[in-house]
Amino acid sequence: MRKEYSHPIEVTMDVVCGKWKGVILCHLQQNDVLRFGEIKKLLPKVSQKTLTLQLRELEADGLINRQVYPQVPPKVEYSLTEYGKDLEATLTHMSEWGKSHVEKVELNG
Amino acid sequence: MRKEYSHPIEVTMDVVCGKWKGVILCHLQQNDVLRFGEIKKLLPKVSQKTLTLQLRELEADGLINRQVYPQVPPKVEYSLTEYGKDLEATLTHMSEWGKSHVEKVELNG
DNA sequence: TACCTTAGTTACAATATTGTACCTTCTTGC
DNA sequence: GCAAGAAGGTACAATATTGTAACTAAGGTA
C-alpha cells in the first residue's frame, strides 16, 4: 500500500492534489469547523460522492478531523488537525500565487 | 479553454499538480539549468512521453523556460522563469511538510 | 553504409479519477 | 402512514491522466 517516493514533495502532492482538496483545506482554514452540508454549499460543483471521498482521504492522511454526532438526521463536523494547520502557510502562499497568475493571464489576453 | 475557478488556490493546483511537476520544479530549483536527459535521469520512473508533456505544460503556464539549441543531436535546456521562482518558498515548504509526514507515518507504523 | 546520439512524436492500451442516479437510515412533524 | 432531513453508500458510466512500444531527424563515427 505504501508507495515509494523519490522526493519528499511527492508526499505532500499525493496528499493535497485531489481536485477539491486544496479548496476544502482553505475553507477549513478560514472557518475552523464546518459541517458536511456547509462544505457542499461552499463547493456547489462537487458531487456528494466525490466530496465524501476527498474528505475521507484527507482524514486518512491526518489533515482533518471528522467528528460524528450520533443523531438523526446525522451531523458530522470537519476541522483541521494540528498537523493540517502546518500547511496553512503553504496554502496561503499557493492562493496568493494563484491570484497573481490569474491577473497575469488576464493581462496577456 | 479557460476554466472557471471558485478559489485562487485551484489555479495553482491546476498548474502544479501533475504527477511529476512538483519534483521537476524542485530539481530545477536546485540546479538552475537542466537538459531533458538530465531531468530524465533524476526521475528514472517517468516515461519519455509523460516527461515531455509535463514540461510542455509547465512551459505553457509560464513556470519554466525551454531553450532549444539548433544542433544535432538536439540540446534542450530547461530552467525556472522568474515567475516560477515565486513558487520556491511554497515548494520548499511542501517538501518539508512531506518529510515530516513520512516520519510521522513511519512512527505510527 | 550501418549505427549512435538526443529530444522528441504517434497510435494505442491501461489506470485512475470524477461524476450520475438512485438507495438507505431513523426520528420528528403533519 | 408519509414526507423531510443530513450524510452517506453503490453500481455503473464517462473523463482524464499515464504508460508502452515503436518511429523520426540529421550529423558524426567506425
A46-62: pLDDT as tens digits = 999 999 999 999 999 99
Residue B90 with chain A: CB contacts under 8 Å: 90, 93-94, 97
Nearest to B98 by CA among B48, B28, B35, B23: B23
What domains can be seen in chain A, in order of their start residue?
Answer: 8-107 (1.10.10.10)
Q: Would you call A104 an interface residue with chain B, using a CB distance cutoff of 8 Å?
A: yes
Nearest to B23 by CA among B2, B40, B47, B7: B40
A63-83: pLDDT as tens digits = 999 999 999 999 999 999 999
Q: What is the pLDDT of residue B104?
A: 82
* DSSP-derived secondary structure letter, A4: P
Is a pLDDT exceeding 50 seen at residue B79?
yes
Asked if the Cβ–Cβ distance from B86 to A94 is below 8 Å, we say no
Distance from CA of A22 to the nearest CA of B (A): 7
**H or E, element range at A95:** helix A88-107
